[in-house]
Structure 1
Amino acid sequence: MSYLKFDKDLMINLEYSLYRNVLRTNRRGAYQNTSISGCNTTKYQGLLVMPVPYLDDENHLILSSFDETVIQHGAEFNLGIHRYAGDNYNPKGHKYIREFNCDSVPKTIYRVGGVILSKEIMFSSKENRLMIRYTLLDAHSPTTIRFKPFLAFRKISQLTRENDQVDKSYREVENGISTCMYFGYPELFMQFNKKPEFVYHPDWYRDIEYLQDLQSGDTFQEDLYVPGYFEMSITKGEEIIFSTGDIMVDTSTLAKEFDYETHKRTPRSNFYNCLKNSSHQFYYIPQKDEYYLLAGYPWFKVRARDQFIALPGCTLSVDKPQDFELMMDTAIPHLRDFMKDKPSKSYLKQIDDPDVLLWVIWALQQFWKEKKDIFLEKYSDFINEIIDYITTGKHPNLVLDQETELLSTYGRDVSVSWMNASIDGKPAVPRSGYLVEFNALWYNALKFSEEIARTKNKDKVASDFEERARLAGNSFKELFLNPAGYLYDYVDGNYKDPDVRPNMLFAVSLPYSPLERGQKKSVIDFITKELLAACGIRSLTPKSDKFRPHYTGTENEKKFAYFNGMSFPWLFAHYIEAYLNLFHMSGLSLADRIMVEMEGQMQNDCIGSISEFYDSHPPFIAHGGYSFAMSVGELLRAQRIISRYSTELENGR
């Protein structure tokens, strides 16, 4: 039985199928993404989206869609689907869909009278190139198939209109054509594994609409250019393979290549395999020997904080420690450049955020747990460099108080933490001064440095770190402990922010905590009662008058709701880790329930992946990036934590 399978009734129901989409990527930043019905519902979707570095550092939509028409006895059956003004869908190819499944590659089965046609979509793992394999499973009469490409050649964040700047020329290439709408873009090659007839008939399809952009209040309508159409016969059992990308291919190798790429895929046969596949989609290798994690799709680039939070889960938790090393080894020279105040030439953005280096230490600590010998050889000195950099006050927005051994930052006018939404250029959730998670991470970093020093038999160094951590721990409790039993979110001068937020979770979940057991339990109790939701940990307690359970309203209202009530799946890993550390085996049932709830999201939004955040109240709608590295990576890490506890339970420990 297929794990990600959708039958006819679900597919023809646009209220269902339009809100579920499928994503395929390569490791160069390109992707294919559309709803499972085949209708694009946002401006970010399309069959071929790719970076165009000669123009800018944005992604560009090149090929929006590729409509198929089955022709028998002169009758035409169009399998495409587009939304036009007035809630008009034309054509309505979704009514011919009999099944869609995504266990290996996205596969749609169409039935038109006696014709049964299979369509499988494959994104090349190494090139900016899409392949589609059409197989005629059954037909009782001579059958012709027509293909019509809808071209955009635009930034994904912008829409296009009919214009006279388009270069309508094309040139014939092996079994196809190439064309380029505007200067500066690469040629788009459209080729088949057999020779088609290309009919040149340039035209614009006007007022195509994107439903989800319309509903979110974003711009939603554009015109798309169609240069003509391809046509060829197809016989029962025959495979036609279409290839499109920025390079010309040898069409005789397409069938072999498609099979090879298919066999490389891990079947999405369960929750773990879906997360594992999704984690690989974030890999970004823009050039040789440069390895990163994209923050998510469809619009995110490489963000430093996101990468280091997601990195252990996306690599170590899927048994890919070598990938962790490749990405960390890419990042460290750029981190060193930052610490030496040298200009950055990295794809790693927002590297100067004040908590980034603290998350780097945490990520390396996860690697230490798996590969201690390699860590000691490669990374232990770098940990000391970070500690020295922070201690000597060289960071532009991270200040160490020598008397308390706590860190402060300035965040009244600029976002400094992962709660980074802005309204009119100001933080939607201003957090300044001593932030609770910054100092939990700092205490953990000091204790981890002590552990490294003791392992290397550097007792004096270890004792120094031990004393600093003791001072930091005492100061932490004195500053952040609220008499009610939870932790203040931040302390800025005489102001102690009383909002119950998830940032205090890290003081309980990290390997080293400044809190005593009773204090940890009190913090976890608050989080469980006030912040635990179906699809994540809430960013604010419902008891606050600022709390917003749904991501609705104007753009500014949604930005305000972002970190004032939305639930974030990535925090589940830290919650589960903290909960199991406190309650051990008795906490497994709750941890399992959390993961079962998230497994239910595999068939929602971006199928087989996890979104950035969710509404806190039913129906728990997903929002933000529909495939988000921190969400996926941390759920993988949560699974690894649960698995280890379950193994101990089975072994009777």
Structure 2
Amino acid sequence: MEHLKENVRPYCFFNKSNLNAALENEWLISNAHGSYASSTVSGILTRKYHGLFVLAEQPPLNRNLFITKIEETLEKDGLEYLLYSNCWNDAATIIPNGNIYLDVFYLDENMPVWIYKCSDILIEKRIILHYNKNILAIKYSILNSDDASINLSCNLFGNNRNFHSLQKNNKIDLDITQTEDIIVLSNSIKQNFIKIRANFNSIELKNITYYNYFLKEENNRGFEALENHLLLGKLSFKLAKNNSAEILIACSNENIDTVSFESITNEIKLYNNIVVDLWKKEVKNSPDWVNQLILSSTFFIIKKYNVQKEYLYSILAGYHWFGDWGRDTMISLPGICLVTGRFNIAASILTNYSYYLNDGLLPNRFPDDSEIPDYNTVDASLWYFNAVFQYYKFTNNITLIEELYPVLKDIILWHIKGTKYNIKIDPADGLIYAGQEGSQLTWMDAKIGDYVVTPRIGKPIEINALWYNALCIIRQFSSILNKHDESFFSEYIKLTEDGFQKYWDEKLQYCSDVLTLDDQPDNSLRPNQILALSLEYSPLTIYQKRCILDNCGRLLLNYFGMKSLAKGSKNYYGKYLGNPFERDSAYHQGTVWGWLLGHYAIAYYKVTKNKSVAYGFLETMEKHINEAGIGFISEIFDADYPHAPRGCIAQAWSVGEFLFAWHYLSKY
């Protein structure tokens, strides 16, 4: 332990006392293109999404696995130490188990670091990914020995497949060639598309398929779990205390002649320092584990070409498998971009999405296999109002608000007139009605074939909380910009405010989740009503807010978020387990969602003005960021004890809403 640097953070730290966690917990680094590197701390592949170089060829989509992993062997005085681990055929067969040599794992800022102890030798491994370029760097260093007879061999494994698929072929379409210290990869479609540079002493090119790597998490998720990888070659290095081994892996269009591990590290650390310093300037006495989430937030920000062929920003919804989604982006933006001082990026995202407006709707998601986005969402355009409003509150930039005002007004008018998916205002009560048979338009959007698990056709409560909030926001913007539309919006605000009382159930002391056909209430207790308390503008009375806060707190609040359905309800699931059908059935039927924790904390403070208790809700997350995706917040958690993390290991809106809530509480 004495060899660790002073800035090692204990909340992202593993040593001999908790190395069993190395078999389960995962690290991840990514860049602005959506490319990433990720695996378990132990190096055992447990997901088809794991890989050392997963390249987004159509940023942030069309992600493909090209470099799987590196298997290291240290040799000294005739003794070999195998530092890697693999799981074969089933979960029980781990050969070799290099974990026995792993002394420490930690995050240095957001860089994963391993220290192995082999007899009296300490060897350190670091991995970093350039933020703006598809260049990955790995560095191996001896920490405590001047012995020049230490050899390190690195077996380089590759693949050639989409990251959603598995490699079952005996012959993998991947070739490797060498010119001096540069190695290039080719396949039958593209020549020299990956290049590798290393300061090796020798290299042996290989082309050997290794069969039946067992992927435990894929098996747990009900998917096929065996696949093959290709041994590309063996790199050999001579190590000493002042002689490190470096490997650079890059896309063929990147210049790696003048790039080094050190230059990438310096650039990223400079950026990290700027982001953290901006946060600390705004939020006093922020604990280190919260600062870690600030660092992690960077990994969700990506760049992409939009419909105008401009290179603008977006937010990737979650790792490993999500792309950028409209709803997720707008919910995440205040916490990912605004509280971290990235105002220009926030403006870019808001501008970018305005180009995709279609009949008053923003895209739900951008599919991997299509340039045409899906628009099956009722709330993305309403969350857009909140994101624009928060941008204005943080920046006072009226210029962007002036530019976006026609976009915002267009959204309102389309909702009044009626748009796709039967989304329209009910002129009788001012509430938004949405949905038709076979559609899933709210964030509770699980669908299995033609079966919609939570259809919520009618007037969902959070949609109308967002609608009321949007009307109040645009009325305020109209006044600021002298647009003279205030009286028009005020009519709908009053109508919606009165109509919102239809949700209230005096006997149950909380709101209905949906007003279904003919305004029949669905009284399932769900967390959606909490948004009517946490958003800037609320149509509820203080009495109603207190009742909702109490019931949702007692029956839905969890250490890491809010249950999507109260325990004891029909179709409640306490665990998110099994095959895709079983998991999708549980997705919004009890499963805890991390992004809602921030909303509950803000709602609690708004109603009670008790800041210490509100902070307490957020502080329960400290334990979690040292599990699952290390340094991140997961997408979901089991509703029942022990509330295991599930779904994506790193979810943008989970991190974003947490940071926004923490910042919000620090300012009031």
Report the TM-score, using the length of structure 2 for normalisation: 0.90
Alignment pair present for 1:91 and 2:96 = yes
The runs of 5 or more residues in structure 2 that have no matched partner are 1-5, 277-286
Q: Residues 168-247 of structure 1: matches in 2 within 5 Å?
A: 168=175, 170-184=176-190, 187-192=193-198, 194-247=199-252
Per-residue deviation at 1:276? 1.4
- Structure-2 change in CA distance of 1:554 and 1:171 (3 Å): closer
Aligned to 2:454: 429
Matched residue, 2:126: 120
Residue 468 (1) aligns with residue 492 (2): yes
Equivalent position of 1:136 in the other structure: 142
- Matched with 1:76 is 80
Q: Within 1, Cα distance between the matches of 2:599 and 2:170?
A: 52
SS for the counterpart of 1:178 is strand
Q: Does 1:39 align with 2:61?
A: no
Task: Report 1:544-555 matches (<5 A).
Answer: 544-555=569-580
Shift in Å, 1:642: 1.2
**Greater Cα shift, 224-233 or 68-77:** 68-77
C-alpha separation between the residues in 2 aligned to 1:412 and 1:226? 50
Which has the higher mean CA deviation after the structures are superposed, 271-280 or 566-575? Answer: 271-280
Residues 465/173 of structure 1: CA separation in 2 closer, same or farther (3 Å cut): same
Partner of 2:553: 528
RMSD: 2.5
Residues in 1 aligned to 2:230 and 2:362: alpha-carbon distance in whole angstroms: 49
User: Using a 3 Å threshold, how does the CA distance of structure 1 residues 237 and 468 change in structure 2: closer, same or farther?
Assistant: same
DSSP 3-state at the match of 1:379 = helix
Partner of 2:161: 154
Q: How many residues align?
A: 636
**1:195-594 alignment to 2 at 5 Å?**
195-247=200-252, 249-251=255-257, 253-264=259-270, 266=272, 270-287=288-305, 289-335=311-357, 349-374=373-398, 375-457=400-482, 461-481=485-505, 483-494=507-518, 495-584=520-609, 586=610, 588-594=611-617
Q: Counterpart of 2:354 in structure 1: which amino acid?
A: I
Shift of 1:453: 2.5
**Letter matched to residue 170 of structure 2:** N
- 1:644 paired with 2:649, answer no
Q: TM-score, normalised by structure 1?
A: 0.92
How far does residue 390 in structure 1 lie from its aligned partner after superposition? 1.7
Output the CA distance in 1 between the equivalents of 2:193 and 2:78.
Answer: 34
What is the rounded CA distance, in whole Å, between the counterparts of 2:271 and 2:127 in structure 1? Answer: 13
Alpha-carbon separation, structure 2, partners of 1:544 and 1:165 = 50
SS in 2 for 1:552: coil
8 Å contact from structure 1 (residues 303, 348) kept in 2: no
Please state whether the residue corresponding to 1:102 is helix, strand or coil: strand
Task: Tell me the percent identity.
Answer: 26
Segments of structure 1 that go 5 or more residues without pairing to the other structure are 646-653
User: What is the DSSP-based 3-state SS (H/G/I as helix, E as strand, rest coil) of the residue aligned with 2:508?
Assistant: coil
Instruction: Report deviation, 1:19.
Output: 1.4
Conserved in 2, the CA contact under 8 Å of 1:422 and 1:559?
A: yes
Q: Could you tell me how far apart the structure 2 residues matched to 1:539 and 1:328 are?
A: 29
Say whether the 8 Å CA contact 1:22–1:607 is kept in structure 2: yes
Q: Aligned to 2:171, what secondary structure does the other structure show?
A: coil
CA distance in 2, matches of 1:26, 1:251: 20
| Partners of 2:28 and 2:38 within 8 A in 1 | yes
Instruction: Report how far residue 458 of structure 1 moved.
Output: 5.1
Q: Distance in 2 between matches of 1:72 and 1:543?
A: 61
Q: 1:620 to 1:73 in 2, by over 3 A?
A: same
| Amino acid corresponding to residue 154 of structure 2 in structure 1 | F
When residues 10 and 30 of structure 1 are mapped into structure 2, their CA distance, relative to the original with a 3 A threshold, is: farther
Q: Which amino acid aligns with 2:263?
A: E
* More divergent stretch after superposition (307-316 vs 545-554): 545-554
The alignment partner of 2:142 has SS state of strand
The residue matched to 2:422 in structure 1 has which SS? coil
Matched letter for residue 22 of structure 2: S
> Which residue number corresponds to residue 163 of structure 1?
170
**Cα gap change, 1:414/1:529 in structure 2, threshold over 3 Å: closer, same or farther?**
same
Deviations 1:443-471 (A, max 9, x none): 11122222222334455x21222222111
CA change 1:413–1:249 in 2 (3 A) is same
Q: For 2:26 and 2:432, how far apart are their aligned partners in 1?
A: 43
Give the aligned residue type for 2:117. R
Question: How far off its partner does 1:75 sit?
Answer: 2.7
Q: Tell which deviates more after alignment, 557-566 or 159-168.
A: 159-168
> 2:68 aligned to 53, 64, 71, which one?
64
Equivalent of 2:115 in 109, 118, 133: 109
Contact persistence 2:503–2:513 (CA under 8 A): no
Counterpart contact for 1:31–1:49, Cα < 8 Å: yes
Measure, in 2, the Cα distance between the counterparts of 1:185 and 1:540: 52
The alpha-carbon distance between structure 1 residues 479 and 143, as it changes in their structure 2 partners (threshold 3 A), is closer
Task: Classify the secondary structure of the residue corresponding to 1:106.
Answer: strand
Counterpart of 2:348, as a letter, is L
Go from structure 1 to structure 2 and tell me whether the alpha carbon gap of 1:155 and 1:373 turns closer, same or farther (over 3 Å shift). Answer: closer
Alpha-carbon distance in structure 1 between the residues aligned to 2:635 and 2:563: 13
How far the C-alpha of 1:293 sits from its partner, in A, is 0.5
Give the whole-Å Cα distance in 2 for the aligned partners of 1:304 and 1:442. Answer: 17
1:589-600 equivalences under 5 Å are: 589-600=612-623
